[in-house]
Amino acid sequence: MFRPLACLLTVASLALASSGCSDASESQIMIVEPETGSPQSAAAANVASDDNLSPRVLRRFVALDAAPEAASSSIVDLGRKLYYDPRLSKSGEVSCNTCHPLDKYGTTADRVSTGVFGRKGARNAPSTYHASGHFAQMWDGRSPSVEAQATMPIENHEEMGLSPLEAVAAIDGIPGYRAEFAAAFADAVSPVTFERIGVALGAFERGLVTPARWDRYLRGDSNVLSAREKAGAKLFANLGCIVCHTGPYVGGSMFEHVGARVPWPASEDRGRKAVTGLSTDDMVFKVPSLRNVAKTAPYFHDGSAATLEEAIRMMARHQLGVELEQEEVRELEAWLGSLTGEIPAAYIAQPKLPSGA
Nearest to 324 by CA among 335, 339, 314, 337: 314
- The number of helices, as runs of H, and strands, as runs of E, in the chain is 16, 2
Q: Which residue among the candidates 26, 158, 159, 205 is catalytic per the annotation?
A: 159
At 290 the three-state DSSP class reads: coil
CB-facing half-sphere around the CA of 126: CA atoms within 13 A? 26
Instruction: Count Cβ atoms within 10 A of the Cβ of residue 152 and give its class: 0-12 exposed, 13-18 middle, 19 or more buried.
Output: middle
The secondary structure element, H or E, covering residue 82 is helix 73-84
Spatial CB neighbours of 300, under 8 Å, sequence gap ≥ 6: 124, 258, 288, 311, 314
Residue 159 annotated in active site: yes
The SS3 assignment for 243 reads helix
Which residues does residue 154 pair with via DSSP β-bridges, in sequence order?
A: none
User: d(Cα 180, Cα 105) in Å, to the nearest integer?
Assistant: 28
Q: How far apart are CA 345 and CA 335, in angstroms?
A: 24
3-state secondary structure of 187: coil
CA distance 90 to 38: 58
In sequence order, the β-bridge partners of residue 271 are 284
Cα-based distances in Å from 244 to 87, 199, 277: 39, 29, 23
Q: Which residues contact 162 (CB under 8 A, 6 or more apart)?
A: 88, 89, 90, 154, 155, 170
Helix (H) or strand (E) holding 337: helix 326-337
Spell out the residues 6+ positions from residue 221 whose beta carbon is closer than 8 angstroms to its own: none
- The catalytic residues are 159
